[in-house]
Amino acid sequence: MLRVAIAVAVLAIYVYGLVDVIRTDAHLTRGFSKTTWIIIVVFLPIVGAALWFLIGRPRYSAPVQQQTYRHPIAPDDDPDFLRNLEQRRRNQAEAERLRKLKDDLESKKPKPGAGPHGSGSPSTGNSGTPGAAGDASAEGNPEIK
């Protein structure tokens, strides 16, 4: 019965040591690289685990803060993606608004040669609009009638 208890204890120390080496961050190991520690623990089960616990294992003086990964799971959870999406939507809406204003301005601009006298340029002081200064008739000016 004592042999079984010792075998279970050795196996538990071996497995715990190996798992501890594997789970430790590579930059936190002391003495050797993480790969070297894994090889030592695998080939020297009890001695390797004991050396790991005494020499290689990092010493934590303060509680270690669990490392959190800041990458979102889905794009709609990413605030940067949503911010860029909103900015893109605003830019498209502004571009559409400017295009419509430009089209409206182009449609309201008088075409050359489309004036009331068949010419877009004023002739002899007449600006081309009825009731303008120098126009003898008052048909275009409602105030004179």
pLDDT (tens digit per residue) in 31-78: 888 889 899 989 988 899 888 888 888 877 555 566 666 665 777 777
- pLDDT band for position 84 (cuts 50, 70, 90): confident
Residues of the chain with pLDDT > 70, as a percent, come to 67
The larger pLDDT score, comparing residue 58 to residue 8, is at 8
Chain centre to alpha carbon of residue 18: 39
Domain ranges in the chain are 7-56, 75-108
Give CA separation, 21 vs 24, 46, 62, 66, 128, in Å. Answer: 5, 14, 20, 17, 93
* Residue matched to tokens 């204003």: 101
pLDDT at position 90 over 90 = yes
The larger pLDDT score, comparing residue 124 to residue 91, is at 91
pLDDT value, residue 91: 94
**CA nearest to 110, candidates 98, 123, 94, 122:** 122
Count Cα atoms within 13 angstroms, Cβ side, for 85: 8
pLDDT (tens digit per residue) in 110-130: 777 665 555 555 545 555 555
> Average pLDDT for residues 69-95, to the nearest whole number?
81
For 136, the 3-state DSSP assignment is coil
pLDDT at position 133 over 60 = no
